[in-house]
Amino acid sequence: QPTVGVLALQGDVREHQRMLATVGAQSRPVRTPSELDAVDALVLPGGESTTMWRLARTFGLLEPLRRRVADGMPAYGSCAGMIMLADRIEGGVAGQETVGGMDITVRRNAFGRQVDSFETDLDFPAIGAPVEPFHAVFIRAPWVEKVGDGVDVLARVATGDGTGNIVAVRQGRLLATSFHPELTADARVHALFLDIVKEA
């Protein structure tokens, strides 16, 4: 039985732990390098990526996180967690760093000030939607501006120009969503992540 850590520097840690329990995964909070060593996979929660980055630096976690991800540890990031997993960010604060690992460019607060938060039903074939659409909650969310060759686009949000902005991606064992499944009752994204963890 794998143990899934939840990066617990800041953000909605408990909500992720509750969802992981729903899909039958053992989880525990991760705040230190030794706690990181003890888990098989990691969830990076929603919250505020600038704060998460500064605390990861302060706690000496940034390099260990980079090493684990580079070594193939499965990881799932929601919202701020997606920003943390991105190799490149736009709209970050001066000097803002990420853990990286995903060959994506993520734009912070992409949906703009007028729409601080919104909810919408998504087509998400990787988890069996549209049969049962995924009700996604977005809060000052990023979107994925560019993806590299090895990245699968899992879901988009319809926008005015008809193309749709990318809001869910997978690259090997790394998964990221712009939205917060941990704030809903739909555990399918966490179930998908647990499948990735078990395959690894």
The residues of the shown chain that bind ligand GLN, judged by CB under 6 A, are 46-49, 79-80, 83, 108-109, 139-140
139 belongs to an annotated ligand binding site: yes
Of the pair 14, 198, the CB lying nearest ligand GLN is at 14
Cα separation, 31 vs 145, whole angstroms: 30
Considering the candidates 97, 182, 190, 199, report the single residue annotated as catalytic: 182
Distance between CA atoms of 180 and 138, rounded to whole angstroms? 7
Closest CB to ligand GLN among 84 and 174? 84
* Pick 38 or 115: Cβ nearer ligand GLN: 115
The least CB distance from residue 7 to ligand GLN, in Å, is 12
Q: How far is the CB of 147 from ligand GLN (least distance, A)?
A: 19
Q: Is 83 annotated as a binding residue?
A: no
Q: Is 47 annotated as a binding residue?
A: yes
Q: Compare residues 108 and 190 and give the one whose CB is closer to ligand GLN.
A: 108
Q: Is 180 a catalytic residue?
A: yes
Helix segments in the chain, DSSP class H? 13-22, 33-37, 49-58, 62-70, 80-85, 188-199
**Cβ 178 vs Cβ 141: under 8 Å:** yes
- CB of residue 1 vs ligand GLN: minimum separation in angstroms? 29
For residue 97, give the amino acid letter: E
Check the CA dihedral 182-161-87-172 and report its sign: positive
Question: Catalytic residue among 15, 16, 180, 190, which?
Answer: 180
Contacts of 71 (CB under 8 A, 6+ apart): none
Distance of alpha carbon 127 from alpha carbon 185, whole angstroms = 14
Q: Is 119 a catalytic residue?
A: no
Residue 79 is a catalytic residue: yes
The reply, when asked if residue 127 is annotated as ligand binding, is no
* Contact criterion met (CB below 8 Å) for 92 and 86: no
- Minimum Å gap between C-beta 153 and ligand GLN is 20
Q: Please report how many Cα atoms fall inside a 13 Å half-sphere around the Cα of residue 193, on the Cβ side.
A: 38
Q: Which residues carry a binding-site annotation for L-glutamine? A: 47-49, 108, 139-140
Active site residue ranges: 79, 180, 182
Q: Which residues carry a binding-site annotation? A: 47-49, 108, 139-140
